[in-house]
Amino acid sequence: MTTTTMMKLPTRYLIVILTFICTSVCYIERVGFSIAYTVAADAAGVNQSTKGTILSTFYYGYACSQVPGGYFAQKIGGRKILLLSFLLWSLTCALLPLDPNRTLILVTARLLVGVAQGFIFPSIHTVLAQWVPPHERSRSVSLTTSGMYLGAALGMLFLPSLVKLKGPQSVFLAEAFLGFLWSLLWFKFASDPKASASGAGESILPVNKKIDTRVEKNTRIGGIEKSGIGIPWVKIMTSLPVWAIVVNNFTFHYALYVLMNWLPTYFELGLKLSLHEMGSSKMLPYLNMFVFSNIGGVVADYLITRRVMSVTMTRKFLNTIGFLVASFALIVIPNFRTSGGAVFCSSVALGFLALGRAGFAVNHMDVAPRYAGIVMGVSNTAGTLAGIVGVDLTGKLLEAAKASDLNLSSPESWRAVFVIPGFLCVFSSVIFLLFSTGERIFD
């Protein structure tokens, strides 16, 4: 896409494209660290529990900055926060030496990258809520978040070869280059709206009559909240629909982060496969997420705009289908002992989890369009805690399996790893069915 073409696009489309690229680059970085560190750590003889601790360190920093990310995006503007966070994590990657024996440096760097990236998704939701009208939200959010999966797929496809050719350190330099390049594009093409562009099409969305209009008294300039006084923190934190989003965000990210961080180890130690020799097949789970995420967004917008289903029923329908199918696929992964079977099951699991994002993930903007970044920050904090718990727990489960004289190539060594997120998917889908709504309850 040329500079001239980008300038001719409607601004909201340009913003969506840039945020799509943004999430792609972020997940190239996350998958890249997992691949590069796994190779370096295995060569240095680092045990699985220590690997789990290092891989989960990112999420501690990520959790700390989710709610602050939503708050500062609301106060300062998502555009500026996105730029600053990208520059910070890119610089950290450029300067980080990859030595598995220098644990303190690795922990500090991963914490810093986590803090920086924690500002990104609340900022994106703030920007999209300002620019995108309600009848385009499902597919816009789905396209933006599908960049995560395309980035993970590209990382799994190309980075093992880069590690083999240039060594693990080269991955960090490549990631830093991509981060700086995106920052340049965002600086050049992104802008703040002169007035909120998201008001068009509001008649499609039902409004809960119990909305407290007292929170409307804040002054907004250029679509950015200039006072934190009217943010209904208590109502947000005690809202059952918000907690339905939170629970599903936790489960989605538990499954995603466990697979993203431990699939390389499962392929290499569980199935005795070489990532490099697997070729393009190892990217299929994430490519499937990319496809199904966008299918979910298009289907959701079709059902809503054609009034086939209400917003509430659309969110519940897609969320339930996605999470229940993913649950089954996760639980049966250890039963398949070939690369084709494992790739197929993980592809189905991640693909349908991505489909479910057209339910819970867009719901932030349904229930709280003005405070979408803040609600996203709250729910993404739960998703980040899932990364901390899931990634670290997986390492401990594998070490416990080894202590019980189970070989890591045995299916039983990995059963609990996949059963836990499988049952969480069932639980979360029930919670969303019971308590979620598509109505606007904060404004």
Give the model confidence (pLDDT) of 188-238 as tens digits. 988 887 655 544 444 444 555 554 444 444 444 344 444 445 778 888 899
- pLDDT tier, 328 (very low <50, low <70, confident <90, very high otherwise): very high
CA-CA distance, 88 to 82, in Å (whole number)?
A: 10
Q: Contact 360/319 with Cβ under 8 angstroms?
A: yes
Q: Where are the domains of the chain?
A: 9-192, 233-442
**In this structure, what DSSP letter does residue 195 have?**
S
pLDDT at 67: 84
Determine the average pLDDT of the residues in 420-440: 95
Look at 3-12, 42-51, 138-147, 266-275 and tell me which has the smallest mean pLDDT. Answer: 3-12
Bridge partners of 207? 440
> In Å, what is the CA distance from 175 to each residue of 157, 166, 417?
14, 14, 29
**18 CB neighbour count, 10 Å cutoff:** 22
pLDDT at 112: 94
Percent of the chain at pLDDT exceeding 90: 39
Determine the average pLDDT of the residues in 37-41: 88
pLDDT at 141: 81
The sign of the CA dihedral 385, 391, 394, 395 is negative
**CATH top-level class for 233-442?**
mainly alpha
Q: Contact 327/350 with Cβ under 8 angstroms?
A: no
Percent of the chain at pLDDT exceeding 70: 89
- Tell me the per-residue pLDDT of 123-148, one tens digit each, with 9 for 90 and over: 998 888 888 877 777 788 888 988 98
Instruction: Kindly provide the residue ranges of all beta strands, DSSP E only, lying in 122-193, ordered along the sequence.
Output: none
pLDDT at 213: 43
pLDDT at 195: 56
Count Cβ neighbours within 10 Å for each residue of 172-203 and write b for 16 or more, e otherwise.
bebbbebbeebbebbeebbeebeebbbeeeee
- pLDDT tier, 336 (very low <50, low <70, confident <90, very high otherwise): confident
pLDDT at 220: 42
Q: Contact 112/70 with Cβ under 8 angstroms?
A: no
Fold of 9-192: Growth Hormone; Chain: A; (1.20.1250)
CA-CA distance, 73 to 38, in Å (whole number)?
A: 34
